[in-house]
Structure 1
Amino acid sequence: MARNQEEVKLLGVRGSPFVCRVIIALKLKGVEYEFIEENLGNKSDLLIKYNPIYKKVPVLVHNEKGVSESLVIVEYIDETWKGNPILPIEPYHKALARFWTKFIDDKIFAAIRKALFTKDEKEREEGIEESLEALQFLENELKDKFFGGDEINFVDIAAAIIAFWVPIFEEVVGIELVTSVKFPKLYNWSQELINHPIVKESLPSRDPLLAYFKGLFANIPASK
């Protein structure tokens, strides 16, 4: 049984891929926690107290100490609660996992956001090209069922945004990036990941999220 269960709180919003990373990690470790839904339009005193610099979610509060930034939190969870390791033990493989999670956030997510959530044609084309190039690197890196082999690990948790959120973005915009033809390994991996029991129960409901992003995209001003 996880220790200090009653002293774990997670400040977040249900539809966030970054909050979902933390939820997956907590569930993998069997940690009981209290989820506190934040209104980002009217941020709570608790959020400002525990993340005064960025004032963003997710924030994990453990024993009255706040930890912010999703991947930092996942590492903290992995080090605090033993069993079901999320990061590799061996230093080189741990460094590689950290590299790929940073690549996912800094390169892939940034490129996909540029490709899907801009109405400037030239910028969108650049974003699509950058996305396909970055995704190919990730495709080449995937050697097994998951990035963690037979079990999900740090990279799988970071990449859940590609498996679940990107198809929603694609449906909203009408552009396909991660297809079984272009990226067969990533496509198969994404299906395995979203159907993994712990991941599946951690993901938000798809339909409300789809409606939310459709509304968001409709309000992006067209380029002149």
Structure 2
Amino acid sequence: MTIRQWPVGDRPRERLHAHGAAALSDAELLAVVLGNGVPGRDAVATGRALLAQAGSLGRLLADPDHLPRLAGVGPAKRARLVATIELARRSLREKLADLPAITSPEDSADYLTARLRHLPYEVFACLFLDSRHRVLGYEELFRGTLDGASVYPREVVRACLRYHAGAVILAHNHPSGAAEPSRADCEITRVLVDALALMDIRVLDHLVIGHGAPVSMAAIGLL
């Protein structure tokens, strides 16, 4: 049975119009994006299969270039998924850029979490701000492995100068899931604070992103 043969009240697209996107399951939302299924498997079943292969919605969306390979999900459907992911991220970035200023870890947490939380490798990134703490840009500077990423202070300084930043928020993810800052995290943060201070660039925070809420090193007194 195809989705068109389902009762109208059970169809994902109609339920979305009637009750809003929040009423749909992850698989149903994926079905709306995919548009249709394949012979023998409707769009909702295809969405479930994608989620099962990826392991979770977060892992599915984390790295669009490596979406699970699934029969019936060809270039057109993959393009829809990648475009949807990017639209969500741009919406968060737009919301961030519209803030008068970054005044707390919560202001940037949603965007940085969406960028970094579910990556299977560690990434060190920077959110560049002007002297009034308004967003200038975001860049992932270093990519590592499951266990860590090498961070080079000289490159961080160069990136800040390239953006003419007056302040910066550092962020990195822990693919293992634990968001607690490590000793190495604290050490590199101190090095970066000192190096950037020579350029009159202030480090406002270093967010560690794992499972659950990000940990702000500034909020827990480690900055």
User: What is the TM-score of this pair, normalised by structure 2?
Assistant: 0.30
Higher relative contact order (CA 8 A, sep 6+): 1
- Structure with max Cα Rg: 2
In the superposition, the TM-score normalised over structure 1's length comes to: 0.30
Structure with a larger share of its residues in helix: 1
Greater strand share, structure number: 2
